[in-house]
């Protein structure tokens, strides 16, 4: 598997409107607009930082994965996403190594990227996302 870079850091917020102030007003990052991924019950907002981005995640429903995360752990850092050259190959390699996956096959995330999550049990507690952008 070839990991190219940290694609983005995912941060769970109760509200993008409130959460974005720190990132845009205090740090001066550019707010590139938000996008709702209905299937994941989440609205995302991206702030590019050099080669990577900060992704804010706001749940659109009380039973969505981000709402459940906030309920359990509170708002804050949620996942790290690594960009890989080929996500199908990466997942096949991880499966072969017996790494527990949340997504056995890639799905489509914000910005049309192919994404898949690894299970935090396999990563010492960190939610890891792989993503491939063509």
19 counts as binding Zn ion under rule CB under 5 A? no
DSSP 23-65: IIIIS-PPP--EEEEGGGTEEEEEEEETTEEEEEEEESSTTSH
Cβ contacts of 100 within 8 Å, gap of 6 or more: 118, 119, 121, 122
Q: How near is the Cβ of 131 to Zn ion at its closest, in Å? A: 7
Figure out which of the listed residues 81, 94, 118, 128 binds Zn ion, where binding follows CB under 5 A.
Answer: 81
The interface region with Zn ion, picked from 29-37, 79-87, 100-108, 116-124 by CB under 5 A, is 79-87
What minimum distance in Å lies between the beta carbon of 115 and Zn ion?
Answer: 7
Q: Which residue is nearest to Zn ion (CB)?
A: 10
> In this chain, which stretch among 12-20, 46-54, 76-84, 93-101 interacts with Zn ion, using CB under 5 A?
76-84
Q: In what order do the strands lie in the sheet with 34-37?
A: 34-37, 42-49, 52-59, 3-12, 76-84, 127-132, 114-118, 107-108
By rule CB under 5 A, what count of residues binds Zn ion?
A: 4
DSSP state at residue 119: P
Instruction: Confirm or reject binding of residue 116 to Zn ion (CB under 5 A).
Output: no
Select 10 or 65, whichever has its Cβ closest to Zn ion. 10
Q: Which of residues 42-61 bind Zn ion (CB under 5 A)?
A: 55
Which spans of this chain sit near Zn ion (rule: CB under 5 A)? 10, 55, 81, 129
């Amino acid at each position: 598997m070839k990991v190219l870079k940290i694609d983005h850091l995912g941060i769970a917020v109760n509200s993008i409107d409130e959460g974005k102030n720190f990132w845009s007003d205090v740090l001066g990052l550019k707010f590139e607009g938000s996008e709702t991924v209905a299937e994941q019950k989440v609205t995302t907002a991206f702030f590019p930082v050099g080669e990577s981005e900060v992704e804010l995640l706001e749940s659109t429903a009380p039973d969505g994965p981000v709402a459940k995360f906030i309920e359990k752990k509170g708002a804050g850092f949620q996942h790290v996403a690594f960009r890989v050259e080929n996500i199908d190959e990466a997942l096949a390699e991880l499966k072969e190594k017996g790494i527990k996956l949340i997504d056995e096959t890639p799905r489509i995330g914000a910005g049309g990227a192919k994404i898949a999550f690894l299970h935090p049990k396999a990563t010492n507690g960190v939610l890891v996302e792989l993503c491939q952008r063509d």
